[in-house]
Amino acid sequence: MLVYDVNVAKTFENLDNWRDEFLIQASPADPDNFPFVVLGNKIDLEGGAARVISEKKAKAWCSSKGGIPYFETSAKEDFNVDAAFQCIAKNALKNEAEEELYFPETIDVNAATQRKQASSCC
């Protein structure tokens, strides 16, 4: 998740650096398809009058990076936060490799105790 303040241009300008630094540090298997999500936060400030980064500009940036999902949010007003985190969770789960897990019908807890007693040492 990359978050910037819609009222502070420098935070938006840093998105490229934050994205690149994350990819360097995390070294994901497929960096070109890493499921980033961008949040433009603090849309509630001064009724939007303090805003310096337009939604259009932010969406254009996301589009130029391969179609990163974008959400306008207000953490203070709890606006669009749930939707953003649901998107993040869905993307993360979608990219998880499906594993076959084996769960036996029953577990013999006595077997573990018997092994411990049989393997006592010196």
Q: Does the predicted TM-score (pTM) go above 0.85? A: no
Number of separate domains in the chain: 1
Q: Collapsing DSSP states into helix, strand and coil, what is residue 18?
A: helix
Domain that holds residue 70: 2-118
pLDDT tens column, 42-88: 999 988 889 999 999 999 999 999 999 999 999 999 999 999 999 98
Judge whether 90 and 82 are in contact, CB under 8 Å.
no
Mean pLDDT, the chain, whole residue set: 86
Judge whether 20 and 34 are in contact, CB under 8 Å.
no
User: Which CATH number characterizes residue 18's domain?
Assistant: 3.40.50.300
Task: Identify the pLDDT of residue 33.
Answer: 86
- Report the alpha-carbon distance of residue 77 to residue 79 in Å, rounded: 5
- Report the alpha-carbon distance of residue 38 to residue 90 in Å, rounded: 15
